[in-house]
């Protein structure tokens, strides 16, 4: 049984579906560059899952939301119609948005949100990128149900893949099912992060037969295959809180791309995928025809980390012609399909090795990575606390403080709707000094970042807990080569951290466990074929070193893709300055760019024009 959705307003939705279908089909035939158009109606619906009716926010009534399929070079137009009670923005995760930061979809960073009953049209070209990306709402909590695949095919067709042309391409979106109200959960996260957990995990929106409703097992995702054929799985982790291990009994994967960048193919029986990451993997249906379970298992850091409920989910690979057991049928076909042997829930090293195996197929990064480095940044990631009142309060396991997530011991303060989006301020030359603060280059105190004794509440961690909030920004000159070392810490948790940078890809030059040591670690950098990613997983109690070229002018979010780290402030904003020419500068905002209502007076544009006038 599928989790069933019931439209809040049925008639309207029927009409809408026809309308959406009509518009979605305005896809020009394969030409040099097509124009792909979608309408996203964001609406609340009731869904019944696990015997419980839950109100969820969806795009076009679908979970996962509609897949956007394009060819590299196409232009994409998405009309977002907000019929939900929430402020919405949509982010095109991994799409570089070169010279087009305006449509990056981060509330109050790149745009005023689309308020209820308002529309906004996102329009952008996708150039120089191929593979699997995704889109999601950039609104606390809501991306759990507002997301979908974003597939970019090569301009010269599937024959130009750097691997054998697959028989079929199949998105595999791993996510979670929440019975809790997501907006409320996100709001309360800093009060009690440990009560924020999902009720089930899903593959392509289906909870699978580990879950039941009144004793009846739920249907899981079924991948129908034909013997001998090859399938390209476009795997996306859209979950809020967990890295997943994905396995299919009796089969191996060949990983061919990550974050829409081709990698040197390697074979593995397990895929590790953190929130925000995507992996393209080939699956050959070369096992004896039968039914094989596909399991996605969330992992978590072992004790003394706080343990939260995490649920595996199960789907199936089914060979053509294999139904229920047929009398007298031999081979592996039986009543009980074969299940894979999963890694331990607390196994974090399998992920470390999986990510370490990723290397870039095209060595475009080769020369780039070896260039001079203009900026070296060291980012320490952890948790801390802020007193509810005043500067001093009881820390540790205390109700006098709230927990926050930090970068170099500062927790990001989201600019409020009373101000203007940072991008507009930057574009119209309005000083950010009153809102923003420079992100410290290094942490204020050096300590043994990966000391296990810091995980549980105690005297050691309490000394390091105090932190504060600020809207952290870091400016980069156009074209600067930036190196960042992200260091995970054991401050109140030993989590890994999937760090995502908007508007740029990063080259992963090294990763390691324990504390980063430049003397020992720099010589081991891979400057030959570093994997190129938009989301890099900083290992549990470890570090990662990346480089990127700050060549995309704009104001870009950089954050941990674990929802609780993001909501609690493990965030900074990178401002990339304009280059010397028009071609290297950010053009003006698009038409009908959302405004933040009457709260800002004058608007950033008016303010800019006024100040120009008074100058002359
Ligand atoms: Cu996929 Cu800023 O996020």
Residue whose CA lies nearest to ligand 1 atom number 1: 93
Q: In the structure, what pLDDT confidence band is assigned to residue 615 with cuts at 50, 70 and 90?
A: low
Cα(242) to ligand 1 centroid in Å equals 15
> Tens digit of pLDDT for each residue in 477-500?
999 999 999 999 999 999 999 999
Q: Is 559 in the pocket of ligand 1 (CB under 6 A)?
A: yes
Separation between Cα atoms, residue 454 and residue 489, nearest integer Å: 9
Q: Is 143 in the pocket of ligand 1 (CB under 6 A)?
A: no
Cα(135) to ligand 1 centroid in Å equals 9
Q: Please report, for the chain, the start and end positions of each structural domain, with discontinuous segments joined by +.
A: 1-160, 163-358, 364-584
pLDDT of residue 217: 84
pLDDT of residue 418: 58
Q: Residue 350 in 3-state DSSP?
A: helix
What one-character-per-residue DSSP string does 284-304 give?
A: E--SPSSEEEEEEEEE-PPTT
Q: What integer best gives the mean pLDDT of the chain?
A: 89
> Tens digit of pLDDT for each residue in 454-485?
999 999 999 999 999 999 999 999 999 999 99
Q: In the structure, what pLDDT confidence band is assigned to residue 367 with cuts at 50, 70 and 90?
A: low
pLDDT of residue 605: 65
Q: Is 138 in the pocket of ligand 1 (CB under 6 A)?
A: yes
pLDDT of residue 187: 85
pLDDT of residue 332: 46
Separation between Cα atoms, residue 372 and residue 481, nearest integer Å: 7
Q: Which atom of ligand 1 is nearest to the CA of 559?
A: 2
3-state SS string over 27-39?
Answer: ECCCCCCCEEEEE
Q: Is 276 in the pocket of ligand 1 (CB under 6 A)?
A: yes
Cα(139) to ligand 1 centroid in Å equals 10
Q: Which CATH class is domain 163-358?
A: mainly beta
pLDDT of residue 450: 96
Mean pLDDT of 208-226: 90
pLDDT of residue 393: 92
Q: Which atom of ligand 1 is nearest to the CA of 106?
A: 2
Q: Is 218 in the pocket of ligand 1 (CB under 6 A)?
A: no
Q: State which fold the 364-584 domain adopts.
A: Immunoglobulin-like (2.60.40)
Q: Is 136 in the pocket of ligand 1 (CB under 6 A)?
A: yes
Residue 460 burial class via C-beta count within 10 angstroms: exposed 0-12, middle 13-18, buried 19 and up: middle
Residue 56 burial class via C-beta count within 10 angstroms: exposed 0-12, middle 13-18, buried 19 and up: buried
> Tens digit of pLDDT for each residue in 24-39?
444 444 447 899 999 9
Residue whose CA lies nearest to ligand 1 atom number 3: 93
pLDDT of residue 190: 72
pLDDT of residue 326: 43
pLDDT of residue 417: 57
Q: Is 557 in the pocket of ligand 1 (CB under 6 A)?
A: yes
Q: Which CATH class is domain 1-160?
A: mainly beta
Indicate if 364-584 has the same CATH topology as 163-358: yes
Q: Is 547 in the pocket of ligand 1 (CB under 6 A)?
A: no
Q: Is 500 in the pocket of ligand 1 (CB under 6 A)?
A: yes
């Amino acid at each position: 049984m599928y989790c069933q959705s019931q439209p809040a307003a049925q008639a309207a939705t029927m009409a809408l579906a026809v309308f959406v279908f009509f518009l979605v089909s305005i896809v020009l035939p394969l030409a040099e560059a097509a124009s792909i158009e979608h309408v996203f109606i964001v609406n609340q619906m009731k869904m019944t899952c696990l015997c419980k009716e839950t109100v969820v926010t969806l795009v076009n009534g679908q979970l996962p939301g509609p897949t956007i399929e394009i060819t590299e070079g196409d232009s994409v137009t998405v009309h977002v119609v907000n019929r939900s009670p929430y402020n919405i923005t949509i982010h095109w995760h991994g799409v570089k948005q070169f010279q087009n930061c305006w449509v990056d979809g981060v509330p109050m960073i790149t745009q005023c949100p689309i308020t209820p009953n308002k529309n906004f049209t996102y329009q952008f070209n996708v150039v120089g990128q191929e593979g699997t990306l995704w889109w999601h709402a950039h609104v606390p909590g809501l991306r759990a149900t507002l997301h979908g695949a974003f597939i970019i095919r090569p301009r010269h067709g599937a024959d130009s893949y750097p691997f054998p042309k697959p028989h079929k391409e199949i998105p595999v979106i791993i996510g979670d099912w929440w019975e809790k109200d997501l907006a409320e959960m996100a709001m309360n996260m800093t009060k009690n992060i440990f009560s924020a957990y999902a009720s089930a995990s899903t593959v392509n929106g289906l909870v699978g037969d580990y879950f039941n409703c009144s004793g009846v097992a739920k249907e899981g995702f079924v991948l129908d295959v034909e013997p001998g054929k090859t399938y390209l799985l476009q795997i996306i982790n859209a979950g809020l809180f967990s890295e997943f291990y994905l396995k299919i009994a009796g089969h191996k994967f060949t990983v061919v791309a990550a974050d829409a960048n081709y990698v040197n193919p390697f074979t593995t029986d397990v895929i590790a995928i953190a929130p925000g990451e995507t992996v393209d993997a080939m699956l050959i249906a070369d096992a004896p025809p039968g039914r094989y379970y596909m399991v996605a298992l969330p992992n978590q850091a072992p004790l003394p980390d706080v343990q939260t409920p995490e649920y595996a989910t199960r789907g199936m690979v089914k060979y053509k012609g294999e139904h229920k057991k047929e009398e007298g049928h031999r081979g592996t076909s039986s009543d009980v399909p074969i299940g894979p042997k999963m890694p331990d829930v607390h196994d974090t090293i399998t992920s470390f090795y999986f990510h370490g195996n990723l290397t870039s197929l095209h060595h475009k990064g080769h020369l780039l990575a070896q260039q001079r480095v203009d900026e070296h940044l060291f980012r320490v990631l952890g948790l801390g606390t802020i007193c509810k009142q005043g500067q001093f309060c009881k820390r540790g396991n205390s109700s006098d403080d709230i927990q926050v997530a930090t970068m170099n011991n500062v927790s990001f303060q989201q600019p409020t709707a009373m101000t203007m989006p940072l991008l507009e301020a930057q574009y119209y030359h309005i000083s950010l000094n009153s809102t923003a603060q420079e992100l410290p280059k290094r942490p204020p105190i050096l300590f043994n970042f990966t000391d296990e004794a810091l995980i549980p509440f105690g005297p050691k961690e309490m000394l390091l807990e105090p932190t504060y909030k600020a809207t952290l920004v870091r400016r980069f000159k156009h074209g600067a080569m930036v190196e960042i070392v992200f260091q995970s810490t054991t401050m109140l948790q030993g989590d890994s951290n999937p760090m995502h940078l908007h508007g740029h890809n990063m080259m992963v030059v090294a990763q390691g466990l324990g504390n980063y040591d430049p003397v020992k670690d720099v010589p081991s950098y891979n400057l030959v074929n570093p994997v190129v990613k938009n989301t890099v997983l900083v290992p549990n109690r470890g570090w990662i070193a990346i480089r990127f070229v700050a060549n995309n002018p704009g104001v870009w979010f950089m954050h941990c893709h674990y929802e609780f780290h993001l909501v609690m402030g493990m965030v900074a904003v990178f401002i990339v300055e304009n280059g010397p020419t028009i071609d290297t500068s950010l053009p003006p905002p698009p038409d009908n760019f959302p405004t933040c209502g009457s709260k800002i007076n004058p608007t950033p544009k008016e303010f800019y024009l006024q100040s120009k006038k008074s100058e002359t």
